[in-house]
Chain A
Amino acid sequence: MFLRLVADSITRRPRRKLLTAAALSLGMAVATAALGVSLDVGDRLAREFRSLGANLQVTPQADSLPLEIGGVDYRPVNAGAYLPEADLPKLKTIFWHNNIVGFAPMLEVTADFGVRGGQSTSFVTRGQTHLVGTWSAHRVVLPDGSDFVTGVEKTNPWWSVDGRWFAENTNECVVGVKLASRANLHLGDQLYVNVPDPAKMVQLFAPCIISGLLSTSGPEDEAVLLPLARFQEIARKPRQYRKLYVSALTKPEDDFGRRNPSTMNAADLERWMCTPYISSIAYQIKEVLPGADVRVIRRVAEGEGQILTRVRTLLWLVTIASLLAAALAVGASSAASVMERRMEIGLMKALGAGSGAVGFLLAAEQLLLAFVGGGVGYSIGIVLARIVGQKIFGAAPEPSLLILVVVLGLAAGVTLLGSAIPLRRASRYEPAPILRGE
């Protein structure tokens, strides 16, 4: 009998039920889309922030003071300490190895360069410049046998090359645009570089062929970049580097993240290590690179953390506001659908149904509507969230079961709440005046 009453109420006036269900599903679609986007956006944005490049810098611990002006180190090659390149694959063995987006070692020296003109063997242009040996699309063989391709494209994504990057194991090089225009160099030209060796009488210049012109708006616009392995030979520093840039995906630091790990107890330390804070990743890198000093590039890391936190809060608040609005509209709609049935309620009570039975019947109907409407709304919302995600980030958010549960729960709660108020009033009605139409 109960089921028949419910089924009858729905089949008898399908249009009205359809409208209530439509309001419900639209409201729930708002909720799903907003939830879907804001759950997903934090991770997507964190990845986008990596377009700012490296947020960690590794230097030798026993180093002398770098004499850096505008990003160019003016120390001679024999000053300061170096780090072994052989340790680098260990970076991908730390707990947060999946968060390491890329890394690139650099060996920088201010040294001589020369350009030969035409057939002559002497240099027409000769001067000092900043020579950098680094990786570009370098294949690192990890301890577990797999490969990881990384290089300056990952750590300095704003660098753009006209032409192409040098290939490893060749005598190609990339020249900064300002140096190129100053020394009148073009793609395919030959350039000679040398790191002066005070022990030798005759300085031998090594040739390289320009494969690309680099523009960075930074000091590299004046530099010559070579494959690391080749530059290590030229600089007589085999298998060594001076600086390492690491780009890592991180969680914005909160008060807990900023605490000093050496003052934590074991449980806190474990929690700290198992959160991808920039400082805990730095700590873990330091553990696998002996003799290295790992520093957070604060300008990048702090700005990122601050903005990410803000944007996340903003989107959550927008989500909550729209959930609230959807809930109010849906609640109003279901309240209206109960109110119009005063006659019916009166009749049922006149026939001997108690307030509880009537309430139960109406609640069951509303719940049925809520689940149908919530389900439909969820599918609409997921599609919308996909469109938004695809358009803006080029990747759709994963539909999550959590959202479905939240949305169905919300739909049920809101419809019940919306119908509770008119139902309570209805339970106080005397059947007779209602049936008389008063």
Chain B
Amino acid sequence: MPATPMSNRAMFWRIIRRLLGANRGRLFVILLALGAGAAVTAALLNLQVDAKRRLTTEFRAFGANVAITPRVAIDSTSQAETLPDSDYDKVPTVPITAGGKSAFLFSIGQVRSYGSPHPIPVVIAGLREEGVTSAVLAPFQEVGQASRSEPYCFVGNKVAAQLRVHAKDRLFLLEKNSELTCRISAVETPGGENDSNVIVGLDAAQRLTGLRGRISLIRVSFPGTPLQVNDFIELLSRLLPDADVHGIRQFTEGEAKIYNQISGVLTATVVVVLLLTGLCVMAAMTNVAMERRNDVGLMKAIGGATRRVLRLFLAEAALLGLAGGVLGAAAGILLSMWLGKAVFGVAAQPRLIVYPVAVGLTMLVAIAGALPLRVLANIRPASVFRGEA
């Protein structure tokens, strides 16, 4: 049977067109199954990458995870060591939005309210901080803008209760021989770390204590996976060889454990769901493909070679997979963006690589679903037409 390759190909596509168009209900059902699979693949793959990254930022709800303290000399017994405040500037600005850094200067001084003659001892903390989330001052309910002319101070809940002072009152801070007047701009809500401290600006604290250009602690909130946090700590140790840089183990260790578990759950769920969805779609596809035994029988009866017939059906399956994948994956990426928005308040970034991967996987599943048609190759056309088996 001499046939030009050209007409052969035209015939091939014509048969495919007829196969696809013959039963619109069937076409719809297959596309639905494949599209659903593709959508869930794309959504989960996209969300998985994004959620892991987002989690590391979420962990910064715990605040700082890295501390920089003065190195205590071997022979020293005092704990009143300080760092130069140039060290604070050397700490690189944390690249991602959730991070921040703060410098503290602590001293034990005395505080007295405006009306009372009796000062009580208190820890005075000088604070300077940068970052999107004001980690230290977040628990303070801001009352009014601190005026520029007068130094401001934030007062811990316990201090305020002890002194019976409120926001906008005046406080006197005393340290050795110097004195500072400040106006309370906010009182901390209970339960924070600075419950029993008075916080003033770093400059004011340095003037008060006479420790100009010194700080006693730097804290950094660095969002990242446990490995990234370790790298960051190493980088800081190199930048600040004279200081003691360490992770705040309470949070670094706990976070590492929890991060690994959450990302483990996520990965495991995604793998299980993808695997089963793939199998499920494949089973549905096989079911559909088996319907084609009549067609196969007819084609063989009129002289179609087994390989050509099979190629026809695989091409059909690949086309269906492509169509289902293209539609489904697009829906899936949109779905994952919405999911990201629902969970983290920020839409998940669509990752372009996910799209071809999801489409490819769908085509693979569709073709794998059509493969059982090979069994039909040994079918004798006559028995099909007689309606046997």
Are A and B physically bound partners? yes
Q: Are A329 and B281 CB-contacts (below 8 A) given A48-B261, A336-B287?
A: yes
With a cutoff of 8 Å between Cβ atoms, the chain B residues found around residue A52 in the complex are 62, 250-251, 254
With a cutoff of 8 Å between Cβ atoms, the chain A residues found around residue B288 in the complex are 336
Q: How far is the CB of A293 from chain B (nearest CB, A)?
A: 9
Q: Is the CB of B79 within 8 A of A33?
A: no
Q: Are A325 and B283 CB-contacts (below 8 A) given A34-B273, A37-B269, A339-B26?
A: no
Q: Is the CB of A33 within 8 A of B121?
A: no
Contact with A along B287-310 (1 / 0, CB 8 A): 110110000000000000000000
Is B276 engaged at the interface, CB distance under 8 Å to the other chain?
yes
Q: Is the CB of B264 within 8 A of A422?
A: no
Determine, out of A163-171, A214-222, A355-363, the stretch whose residues face the partner at the interface: A214-222
Q: Is the CB of A65 within 8 A of B162?
A: yes
Is B106 engaged at the interface, CB distance under 8 Å to the other chain?
yes
Is A317 engaged at the interface, CB distance under 8 Å to the other chain?
yes
Is B174 engaged at the interface, CB distance under 8 Å to the other chain?
no
Residue in B72, B251, B342 whose CB lies within 8 Å of A182? B72
Assembled-state Cα–Cα distance A235/B139 (Å)? 35
Q: Is the CB of A321 within 8 A of B40?
A: yes
Q: Is the CB of A65 within 8 A of B61?
A: no
Q: Is the CB of A48 within 8 A of B258?
A: yes
With a cutoff of 8 Å between Cβ atoms, the chain A residues found around residue B192 in the complex are 298-299
Assembled-state Cα–Cα distance A337/B290 (Å)? 10
With a cutoff of 8 Å between Cβ atoms, the chain A residues found around residue B342 in the complex are 313, 317
Assembled-state Cα–Cα distance A324/B33 (Å)? 11
With a cutoff of 8 Å between Cβ atoms, the chain B residues found around residue A38 in the complex are 269
Q: Is the CB of B36 within 8 A of A324?
A: yes
Is B199 engaged at the interface, CB distance under 8 Å to the other chain?
no
Q: Is the CB of A34 within 8 A of B269?
A: yes
Assembled-state Cα–Cα distance A375/B193 (Å)? 53
Residue in B25, B193, B273, B335 whose CB lies within 8 Å of A299? B193
With a cutoff of 8 Å between Cβ atoms, the chain A residues found around residue B32 in the complex are 328, 331-332
With a cutoff of 8 Å between Cβ atoms, the chain B residues found around residue A158 in the complex are 249-250, 253-254
Q: How far is the CB of B227 from chain A (nearest CB, A)?
A: 18
Q: Is the CB of B123 within 8 A of A392?
A: no
Residue in B29, B61, B284 whose CB lies within 8 Å of A307? B61
Q: Is the CB of A23 within 8 A of B287?
A: yes
Interface residue ranges of A241-281 to B (CB < 8 Å) = none
Q: Is the CB of B196 within 8 A of A66?
A: yes
Q: Is the CB of A329 within 8 A of B280?
A: yes
Q: Is the CB of A298 within 8 A of B191?
A: yes
Interface residue ranges of A94-113 to B (CB < 8 Å) = none
- Closest partner residue, chain A, to B41 (CB atom): A325
Q: How far is the CB of A395 from chain B (nearest CB, A)?
A: 12
Residue in A27, A68, A311, A314 whose CB lies within 8 Å of B276? A27
Residue in B197, B277, B290 whose CB lies within 8 Å of A30? B277
Q: How far is the CB of B125 from chain A (nearest CB, A)?
A: 8
Assembled-state Cα–Cα distance A34/B44 (Å)? 13
With a cutoff of 8 Å between Cβ atoms, the chain B residues found around residue A332 in the complex are 29-30, 32-33, 36, 284
Assembled-state Cα–Cα distance A302/B74 (Å)? 38
With a cutoff of 8 Å between Cβ atoms, the chain B residues found around residue A425 in the complex are 25
Is A322 engaged at the interface, CB distance under 8 Å to the other chain?
yes
Q: How far is the CB of A17 from chain B (nearest CB, A)?
A: 10
Assembled-state Cα–Cα distance A182/B244 (Å)? 14
- Closest partner residue, chain B, to A325 (CB atom): B40
Assembled-state Cα–Cα distance A306/B138 (Å)? 15
Is B222 engaged at the interface, CB distance under 8 Å to the other chain?
no
Is A148 engaged at the interface, CB distance under 8 Å to the other chain?
no
Q: Is the CB of A388 within 8 A of B280?
A: no
Q: Is the CB of A322 within 8 A of B122?
A: no
Interface residue ranges of B102-118 to A (CB < 8 Å) = 106, 108
Is B220 engaged at the interface, CB distance under 8 Å to the other chain?
no
Q: How far is the CB of B1 from chain A (nearest CB, A)?
A: 28
Q: Is the CB of B276 within 8 A of A26?
A: yes
Assembled-state Cα–Cα distance A95/B264 (Å)? 34
Is B132 engaged at the interface, CB distance under 8 Å to the other chain?
no
Interface residue ranges of A62-77 to B (CB < 8 Å) = 64-70, 72, 74
Is A137 engaged at the interface, CB distance under 8 Å to the other chain?
no
Q: Are A30 and B262 CB-contacts (below 8 A) given A53-B250, A69-B123, A296-B191?
A: no
With a cutoff of 8 Å between Cβ atoms, the chain B residues found around residue A300 in the complex are 62
Assembled-state Cα–Cα distance A130/B175 (Å)? 23
Q: Is the CB of A27 within 8 A of B280?
A: yes
Assembled-state Cα–Cα distance A296/B193 (Å)? 11
Is A20 engaged at the interface, CB distance under 8 Å to the other chain?
yes
Residue in B62, B72, B262, B290 whose CB lies within 8 Å of A45? B262
Interface residue ranges of A114-160 to B (CB < 8 Å) = 127-129, 156-158
Assembled-state Cα–Cα distance A274/B286 (Å)? 53
Is A326 engaged at the interface, CB distance under 8 Å to the other chain?
yes
With a cutoff of 8 Å between Cβ atoms, the chain B residues found around residue A298 in the complex are 139, 189, 191-192
Contact with B along A297-318 (1 / 0, CB 8 A): 1111111001100110111011
With a cutoff of 8 Å between Cβ atoms, the chain B residues found around residue A194 in the complex are none
Q: Is the CB of A302 within 8 A of B61?
A: yes
Assembled-state Cα–Cα distance A315/B277 (Å)? 17
With a cutoff of 8 Å between Cβ atoms, the chain B residues found around residue A128 in the complex are 77-78
- Closest partner residue, chain A, to B345 (CB atom): A310
Is B158 engaged at the interface, CB distance under 8 Å to the other chain?
yes
With a cutoff of 8 Å between Cβ atoms, the chain B residues found around residue A67 in the complex are 108, 121-123, 196
Q: How far is the CB of A93 from chain B (nearest CB, A)?
A: 24
- Closest partner residue, chain B, to A217 (CB atom): B249
With a cutoff of 8 Å between Cβ atoms, the chain B residues found around residue A422 in the complex are 25
Q: Is the CB of B120 within 8 A of A23?
A: no
With a cutoff of 8 Å between Cβ atoms, the chain A residues found around residue B23 in the complex are 339
Q: Is the CB of B265 within 8 A of A315?
A: yes
Q: Beyond the given A306-B58, A310-B55, A332-B33, could you list 5 further A-B residue pairs with CB under 8 A, ordered by the A residue number?
A: A19-B290, A23-B284, A156-B250, A332-B29, A336-B29
Selected A-B contacts with CB under 8 Å, 6 pairs: A38-B269, A72-B79, A217-B67, A218-B249, A329-B36, A330-B284
List the interface of chain B (C-beta within 8 A of A).
23, 25-26, 29-30, 32-33, 35-37, 39-40, 43-44, 47, 51, 55, 58-59, 61-63, 67, 69, 72, 74-79, 106, 108, 120-123, 139, 158-159, 162, 189-193, 195-197, 216-217, 246-251, 253-254, 257-258, 261-262, 264-266, 268-270, 272-273, 276-277, 279-281, 283-284, 286-288, 290-291, 335, 339, 342-344
